[in-house]
Amino acid sequence: MSSALQLPRETLLAAYTRMRTIREFEDRVHDEFSAGNIPGFVHLYAGEEASGVGVCMHLTDRDAIASTHRGHGHCIAKGCDVDGMMKEIFGRKDGLCGGKGGSMHIADLSKGMLGANGIVGAGGPLACGAALTSKLLKTGGVSVCFYGDGASNQGAILESYNLAKIWNLPVLFVAEDNGYAESTASSWSVGGSQTGRATGFGLPSREVDGFDFFAVYETAGEMIDRARAGGGPSLMHVRLGRHYGHFEGDAMTYRAPDEIANLRQNHDPLKIFKQRVVEASLISPEEFDAVDKKVVDDIAMTMVNAKAAPMPTEADLLTDVYLRY
Amino acid sequence: MSSALQLPRETLLAAYTRMRTIREFEDRVHDEFSAGNIPGFVHLYAGEEASGVGVCMHLTDRDAIASTHRGHGHCIAKGCDVDGMMKEIFGRKDGLCGGKGGSMHIADLSKGMLGANGIVGAGGPLACGAALTSKLLKTGGVSVCFYGDGASNQGAILESYNLAKIWNLPVLFVAEDNGYAESTASSWSVGGSQTGRATGFGLPSREVDGFDFFAVYETAGEMIDRARAGGGPSLMHVRLGRHYGHFEGDAMTYRAPDEIANLRQNHDPLKIFKQRVVEASLISPEEFDAVDKKVVDDIAMTMVNAKAAPMPTEADLLTDVYLRY
Amino acid sequence: MSKKSYRQAVNEALRQEMERDPRVILMGEDVAGGTGAPGQQDAWGGPLGVTKGLYTQFGPDRILDTHLAEISFIGAAAGAAATGLRPVAELMFVDFMGVCFDQILNQAAKFRYMFGGKAVTPLVIRTMYGGGFRAASQHSQCLYSLFTHIPGLKVVVPSNAYEAKGLLIQSIRDDDPVIFFEHKVLYDEEMEVPDEPYTIPFGEANVTREGEDCTIVALGRMVGFANQAADNLAKQGITCTVVDPRTTSPLDLDTIIETTEETGRLVIVDESHPRCSMASDIASLVTERSFSKLKAAPRMVTAPHAPVPFSPALEDLYVPSPAKIEAAVRELVGQPTRVAAE
Amino acid sequence: MSKKSYRQAVNEALRQEMERDPRVILMGEDVAGGTGAPGQQDAWGGPLGVTKGLYTQFGPDRILDTHLAEISFIGAAAGAAATGLRPVAELMFVDFMGVCFDQILNQAAKFRYMFGGKAVTPLVIRTMYGGGFRAASQHSQCLYSLFTHIPGLKVVVPSNAYEAKGLLIQSIRDDDPVIFFEHKVLYDEEMEVPDEPYTIPFGEANVTREGEDCTIVALGRMVGFANQAADNLAKQGITCTVVDPRTTSPLDLDTIIETTEETGRLVIVDESHPRCSMASDIASLVTERSFSKLKAAPRMVTAPHAPVPFSPALEDLYVPSPAKIEAAVRELVGQPTRVAAE
Ligand SMILES: Cc1ncc(C[n+]2csc(CCOP(=O)(O)OP(=O)(O)O)c2C)c(N)n1
Ligand SMILES: Cc1ncc(C[n+]2csc(CCOP(=O)(O)OP(=O)(O)O)c2C)c(N)n1
Ligand SMILES: [Mg+2]
Ligand SMILES: [Mg+2]
């Protein structure tokens, strides 16, 4: 693929490192959850890395993203502090949200990360709002709304298409279609098509292969550029797959027996990325190995830090409800 | 138009009578409101008669309709008692809803009239629910959801397209586009198009001239027949115009100076109907005149009855909150 | 100082704050009116004309007509507030909260806490509430109790034009999400209101009457009714302190407690439904703190546990009236009214 | 009679009512699970497996997986209820009410009144609520106070498996809209539950302990905590009456009044936020009726006015505990606890 050759080496390495960081983060969180060390609802992004990273490589801190319950990948892709994220997932006092949010509410507004969100579809209006701020304050910022195939049926998302359109807001809607909303297949639950709906609301749209970082990167780039130039919102339908269950603890009996093995073997965005780039002789396998090793070590340290970090205390319980009351 | 010729005389007379009844009802309500005799928010359907009647001529009591704040026309078209309606609008004890609902909440479930609705868009889910009842209880019934161009942007309506589609419900969505939601133009507020959206959700759709009873009647007939036969939902985008303001009291400065005069002169569904049918020599002008006269007399009597009817009393205040509590 | 209606007071507060701070914007259905239409722009100013003229002054970048879809525009206001604007969003009637409540309940109200104190969300939602307009069940509710229940929100219920202006300016300057309740029946009521901008702090009740026999705490439109009742009672030798809390969240419990302990009696007038209401909230909080100082149980005067009826004949019985307040006070001080002459 | 978990009790109630009445249907996100998927059908039974097996027994016409869009399917349930079905709709977590509240608040709850008594809407909305699951701010709320405020709704908060089965069967047979709150932390708790169908009437409180010193009214999961506290206190010579109202709307005020007048003291335990809550509701109603019989002001034990925190370290401090209930009772009876040993 030609685009692979056009990206600078550092960009390729940065993209891979982010994807690899997400994967390692999620795999380790999976282990810790399975071992009973993480409480609550945890939804992993492993397998979907090319989407979050392919999009966020085009963004800086002035740009905003709205994320979902499956937010770890978006957070890492948008530059959230990984140590702070892990501590948050463990409910620690110096987690990114002081331990008050947990996996489903990781946010860092200073990075333009508007928050993971426990309410499916809620990010649509928020992304429109951030885009309105960019537009009215002329910051040049663009907003991205990540949401799932399930979310694509929510009123909040559907209304947002129209609001972004008629207010001509700089928004990119990224429908991350991993085939399921919990256990319900998107092939059943989504009437019509994501791109057809976009057309219905007057939004340009494209469907892309979400296992292919370069496909995501290219299309997102075009759409983000258009938005930044005042050309309004568009929609990208990304087809991808998750490596784990809907949430940790999901037995996944609704999936085909070979589905995950096939995903991991033939549709792993990291493998595909590496293979492409190695074939184009842009980065050597050894360099990739070095990244892999560094990421593994870093996340191991992150995990150690998170587990050692102190819990919040009663003094923290009632702070942060208001600025002043 | 050929279809005009195909309809039996009685059907034509019935359709005209219903349209004429709506017009007269609304014109008189307008007068009474202007005279200060009717309180609250009142939204008139005058000018839009061909839509409600063109659709409801295909329905019987086993079929359900969900209506809007602009509900008088739908009620009359669906066969609600006109005396009871007028009394309701005057807040009388023997109004259709005991005076508790008023203009925005006229309902008669025994007629399949699920209610006018003060919440824009709320009828979409309700129509789906009634259609689910028809489908599961195999009543052969079809549901129609009437809603405005403004409502077409509400999450409730947009979600309903999808629910009706994936559950294959016998629903007809009738987007009554009178060009405005309050004072906001639909040409601005509706991104994309009604029919394009329908396509996006996998619904067959068509745009029709809402001043032309026969166009509405024919398209609605096809779509209702399809739904009844198990073919699922569709959407009809009806373009029409209202003769009065958004609500009674609206100064309408947002409309073009000649807009209403033009509507009344060149786009009056009653005039157009009469002209077609007279030209085809199906019904004589004298017969139409007789209908007109009878309707005027009937509504005059209705008005007299409504004004003379007793008010509810304290004994009525707390009844009907629950069946049993 | 000049005579202004409640409507004008709200309009002026908006105008002055928009003049002061370019980040303040207004959005809502027909807040300008006429967008995309062939006739006049700024054609509506909302269904009751409250924001009329602002579009002409501030233009389309700051007075934004929305589509008719509250989830997205109320949520966009929350998102804009969290990223640097100070939006005032109009939820036309509070009854429509059901359509977009998530963006308030789970988004705006919780950002700050969920995100560990890192979010600032200076959002104001203006909304019309209350009965008496013959607007029936879906356009006449109060519902401020529901918002008061939710941590993270501030809730403001101004009782007259003066209060409306000062409290709205405060709301716009406040950095937390505020729900601002305007009573539709008060819009035409006039009084002297300062021309210059001023603020009224949150959580500081206003004592509108001072008396010795009973304290009446009333909210919004009910404050005027309570004053009427107090004035009437005074002629009969029963004097009342009337307290307008102004904001239900935060609530100035101290003033309520203090004045109640002075009189030993408390009547709470709340136009909403009785269950889990502001009336029950205040009654329980006062009882908890002032039990031994109370001569009798706090009395709650509210609308009944029923939707708001359309018929004027019923609605007039439904909404609390000065006569009902008077009767409650008389009963509490031990001078029962004969047949309530409603 | 056999040992059943709360989860099994709910499942059995649904199954038995669906067997009895063909108009009863179940709908919600993944209530079957696996719709359209290549693997197993009936794969989930909801996220916590409560409805598992029903699809296999009743098939796709009666156990309906929905799309992930609550406005439309909760509203469809309301529409279906008004036209002849008896739907049980699952709003997965009550926190999601904000997305679809209008269809409950302004549609289902008001049909009957607005339409002058002509609508019958036998709708049940089952929903999970409550803290303790480490599910954070948007998946841990109680919010039953909001529904209790709304006329036209009935609100059920079962405290254990026995109650859950009987009250759910009653809810399904009831002809008014019912919101049925299942506490997610109780699902695994087991007790003896009759195998045959039975109903528990609405508005009839259950007295789970009898004592002389204090009455404790507790809701849902808090009933178990109140019983624990009472048992502990009994060992210290303080005996309590514990009342489980079972339904907050209608509310069996008579039993609460009666038992409170016997002990002269009242502690109310409500897992929700304090403002405009069930705690304040009951406190105010009891005070209004029993003022002269009260030895002290009713005490309210609630969660604080803050969203629910994620961190287990915080959530354990947040949710009312048996220890806090005990402390409240001790203080009320005049035996203050030393440093609260949480
Ligand atoms: C409004 C709302 N409804 C339901 C849920 C429960 N829920 C959480 S995630 C989820 C499925 C989401 O599916 P999708 O949007 O496809 O995202 P994915 O999990 O596949 O990434 C559901 C039903 C929720 N959190 N919010
Ligand atoms: C959810 C909701 N938002 C706003 C309103 C206020 N409102 C009533 S009618 C209306 C305009 C409706 O426009 P449209 O759907 O085009 O119907 P029309 O009035 O033109 O028939 C608005 C904004 C409402 N009743 N409900
Ligand atoms: Mg998905
Ligand atoms: Mg319209």
Mutation target to probe the D interface, by most D beta carbons within 10 A, among B135, B136, B144 is: B136
Catalytic annotation, residues of C: 139
pLDDT of D295 reads: 97
D44, D68, D139, D140, best to mutate for ligand 1 pocket (most atoms within 8 Å of CB): D68
Chain C contact for A159 (CB, 8 A cutoff) = yes
State which residues of chain A have pLDDT below 70: 1-4
Nearest residue (by CA) to ligand 2, atom 3, is: B120
Contact B122 D82 (CB under 8 A): no
- Ligand 2 pocket test: pick from B103, B105, B182 the residue with the most ligand atoms within 8 Å of its Cβ: B182
Distance CA C301, CA C280 (A): 10
What is the tens place of the pLDDT at every residue in D81-107? 999 999 999 999 999 999 999 999 999
Domain borders along chain C are 2-193, 206-333
Rounded distance from Cα B180 to ligand 4 centre (Å): 4
Give the pLDDT confidence score for residue D337 in this predicted structure.
63
Task: Kindly report, residue by residue over D35-87, the tens digit of the pLDDT.
Answer: 999 999 999 999 999 999 999 999 999 999 999 999 999 999 999 999 999 99
Tell whether ligand 2 has an atom less than 6 A from the beta carbon of residue B239: no
CB contact under 8 Å between D115 and B107, yes or no, is yes
Q: Assign B3 a pLDDT band (cuts: 50, 70, 90).
A: low
Q: Is D134 on the interface with A (CB under 8 A)?
A: yes
Q: What is the mean pLDDT of chain D?
A: 97
Please state at what angle helix B213-228 crosses helix B49-56, rounded to 10 degrees: 40
Whether D139 is catalytic: yes
Residue of D23, D25, D79 with shortest CB distance to B127 = D79
Task: Please state, in angstroms and rounded to a whole number, the distance separating the CA atoms of residues D152 and B319.
Answer: 11
Nearest CB among C40, C309, C312 relative to B254 is that of C40
pLDDT for residue C337: 63
Q: Return the ∠ at Cα A235 (arms to A232 and A240), rounded to 5°.
A: 155
State which H helix or E strand residue A122 sits in: none
Other CB atoms within 10 Å distance of the CB of residue B28? 17
Among all residues of chain D, which has the CA nearest to that of A116?
D138
Alpha-carbon separation of residue B175 from B124, B213, B264, C132 (angstroms): 11, 15, 21, 33
Same fold, C2-193 and C206-333: yes
Place of tokens 């009604």: B194
A203 touches chain B (CB under 8 A): yes
pLDDT tens digits for B283-306? 999 999 999 999 999 999 999 999
Does D314 lie at the interface with C, CB-CB under 8 angstroms? no
Ligand nearest to the CA of residue C99, numbered in listed order: 2
- CA nearest ligand 1 atom 11, residue: A181
All structural domains of chain B: 3-316 (3.40.50.970)
Q: Phi and psi of C176, rounded to 5°?
A: -105, 160
Nearest to D276 among C97, C145, C152 (CB): C145
C-alpha of residue D29 to centroid of ligand 1, in Å: 9
Check: CB of residue A251 under 8 Å from CB of residue D47.
Answer: no
- In this model, does residue D134 exceed pLDDT 50? yes
Name the stretches of chain C with pLDDT < 50.
339-342
- Please provide the average confidence, as pLDDT, over all residues in chain B: 97
Strands D247-249 and D154-156: antiparallel
Helix axes B9-34, B49-56, angle to 10 degrees: 140
Q: Which of residues 162-201 of A touch C (CB under 8 A)?
A: 162-163, 166-167
C180 contact D CB<8A: no
Q: What is the pLDDT of residues D289-302, one digit of tens each?
A: 999 999 999 999 99
Q: Is pLDDT of D340 > 80?
A: no
Measured torsion, CA atoms of residues B94, B97, B100, B102, in degrees rounded to the nearest 10: -100
The answer to whether the beta carbons of residues D142 and D129 sit under 8 Å apart is yes
Identify the pLDDT of residue B2.
53
| Span B225-248, pLDDT tens digits | 999 999 999 999 999 999 999 999
Q: Which chain A residues are closer than 8 Å to D133 by Cβ?
A: 40
Pocket residue to mutate for ligand 1, from A43, A44, A74, A120, most atoms within 8 A of Cβ: A120
- Fold for the domain defined by D206-333: Rossmann fold (3.40.50)
Q: Which CATH architecture describes the domain D2-193?
A: 3-Layer(aba) Sandwich (3.40)
CB D175 within 8 A of CB B324: yes
Q: CA-nearest residue of chain B to D62?
A: B136
* CA A108 to each of CA A75, A78, A101, A234, D317: distance values in angstroms, whole numbers, following the listed order: 8, 9, 11, 25, 26
Q: Which residue of A has its CA nearest to C85?
A: A133
CB contact at 8 A, A75 and A108: yes
End-to-end CA distance of chain D: 37
Q: Is the CB of D96 under 6 A from ligand 1?
A: yes
Q: State residue D2 phi and psi, 5-degree precision.
A: -160, 165
In angstroms, the first-to-last Cα distance of chain A is 57
Of the candidates A155, A254, A257, the beta carbon closest to that of D33 is on A254
What's the confidence (pLDDT) of residue B6?
Answer: 85
Q: Is B178 in the pocket of ligand 2 (CB under 6 A)?
A: yes
Whose tokens are 């990421």? That residue is A295
DSSP state of B180: E
Which ligand sits closest to the CA of B70?
A: 2
Are D275 and C284 inside 8 Å of each other by CB? no
Interface of A with B in 206-245 (CB under 8 A): none
Q: Do D115 and B97 touch (CB under 8 A)?
A: yes
Q: What is the pLDDT of residue C204?
A: 98
Cβ of residue B190 lying under 6 Å from some atom of ligand 2 = no
Interatomic CA distance for residues A255 and C296, integer angstroms = 66
Residue of A157, A183, A247 for testing the chain D interface, max D β-carbons within 10 Å: A183
Mutation for C interface: A105, A132, A139, most C CBs within 10 A: A132
Report CA(A132)–ligand 3 centroid distance (Å).
27
Q: Residues of C with CB below 8 A from D151's CB?
A: 273, 304-307
Q: What is the per-residue pLDDT for D342?
A: 39
Of ligand 2's atoms, which has the minimum distance to the CA of residue B151?
15
pLDDT for residue C335: 76
Which ligand is nearest the CA of C139, by number?
2
